[in-house]
Amino acid sequence: QKEVEQNSGPLSVPEGAIASLNCTYSDRGSQSFFWYRQYSGKSPELIMFIYSNGDKEDGRFTAQLNKASQYVSLLIRDSQPSDSATYLCAVKTNAGKSTFGDGTTLTVKP
Amino acid sequence: EPEVTQTPSHQVTQMGQEVILRCVPISNHLYFYWYRQILGQKVEFLVSFYNNEISEKSEIFDDQFSVERPDGSNFTLKIRSTKLEDSAMYFCASSEYREIPLHFGNGTRLTVT
């Protein structure tokens, strides 16, 4: 089982729609959860982080965490073509190592 | 906003040569990391560094790799004898505390020929 698993994608949504990105993780001791956006050829850029169960909203982005189900998601409301990128889920354990998922490529079509 | 800076942006080397990739983490950060990303693949953890020593390393980080913080600002990754499969983008990252998000540099693209 992969340590961090993301829905394989690619995911395509029309402009203005909600994009839903999902991630599961295997280490129950994981404490911190991050979503990064990576444009082709660029470095990962932090979008959201969440530490506690529940929802966390920041503008058009909402991160959802369910530790019992070992599941974290990212919702992007009112998707824009500029949101087209690969979204990386990262999970940090108590040891401090961040493990990344394979990423989900999102395309927002105008 | 403070940035993690990496040099060079692109390094071409011949197989068997040594390379040193350089990073200047954000100045008040205490935790430093190297990740790599082979073209089209996932971001992979190599090593974390805190208090002048390695705190964790992956199975990728074998004896060919070493890290150093030679002074108060630089953080380097050395690959002693490069192999073709070392060709990748290498990202340096830092964080102020262990739990908080990573700040990534722009990466060094290493090409081994």
Report the percentage of chain A scoring pLDDT > 70.
97
Is some CB atom of chain A closer than 8 A to the CB atom of B91? yes
pLDDT digits (tens, 9 = 90+) for B11-46: 999 999 999 999 999 998 999 999 999 998 999 999
Q: In what helix (H) or strand (E) does residue B55 lie, and over which residues does it extend?
A: strand B53-57
Averaged pLDDT for residues B53-77? 93
Residue A8: pLDDT above 80? no
Q: Give B-chain residues touching A46 at CB under 8 angstroms.
A: 101-103
How far apart are the CA of A13 and the nearest CA of chain B, in angstroms? 22
What's residue B102's pLDDT? 83
Averaged pLDDT for residues A29-35? 91
Q: Give B-chain residues touching A44 at CB under 8 angstroms.
A: 43, 91, 102, 104
What's residue B11's pLDDT? 97
pLDDT digits (tens, 9 = 90+) for B95-110: 988 767 789 999 999 9
What's residue A92's pLDDT? 87
Residue B84 phi, psi (nearest 5): -55, -40
Task: With beta carbons less than 8 A apart as the criterion, state whether B82 and B16 touch.
Answer: yes
Q: Give B-chain residues touching A85 at CB under 8 angstroms.
A: none
Size of interface A-B (CB pairs under 8 A): 57
What's residue A61's pLDDT? 97
Is some CB atom of chain A closer than 8 A to the CB atom of B9? no
- Lookup: tokens for A92: 């940090």
CB atoms within 10 A of CB B88: 21
| CB-based contacts of A104, cutoff 8 Å, min separation 6 | A6, A7, A8, A9, A10, A11, A21, A22, A86, A87
DSSP three-state, residue A81: helix
Q: Give B-chain residues touching A102 at CB under 8 angstroms.
A: 41-42
What's residue B97's pLDDT? 82
How far apart are the CA of A14 and the nearest CA of chain B, in angstroms? 25
Model confidence at A63, in pLDDT bands (50, 70, 90)? very high
pLDDT digits (tens, 9 = 90+) for B70-89: 887 899 999 999 999 999 99
Rounded distance between C-alpha atoms, residue B59 and residue B40, angstroms: 20
- B76-to-A22, B18, B95, B108 alpha-carbon distances in Å: 34, 13, 16, 12
pLDDT digits (tens, 9 = 90+) for A64-79: 999 999 999 999 999 9
Chain B: residue whose CA lies nearest to A105? B40
Q: Do B91 and A98 touch (CB under 8 A)?
A: no
Chain B: residue whose CA lies nearest to A31? B99
Is some CB atom of chain B closer than 8 A to the CB atom of A49? yes
Residue A83 phi, psi (nearest 5): -80, -10
Radius of gyration from C-alpha coordinates of chain B: 13
CB atoms within 10 A of CB A85: 21
pLDDT digits (tens, 9 = 90+) for A85-109: 999 999 987 766 788 999 999 999 9
A41 against B109, higher pLDDT: B109
Q: Do A100 and B44 touch (CB under 8 A)?
A: yes
DSSP three-state, residue A108: strand
Rounded distance between C-alpha atoms, residue B89 and residue B77, angstroms: 13
Mean pLDDT over the full length of chain A? 93
Q: Give A-chain residues touching B105 at CB under 8 angstroms.
A: 43
Residue A80: pLDDT above 70? yes
Rounded distance between C-alpha atoms, residue B31 and residue B20, angstroms: 20
Model confidence at B9, in pLDDT bands (50, 70, 90)? very high
What's residue B99's pLDDT? 66
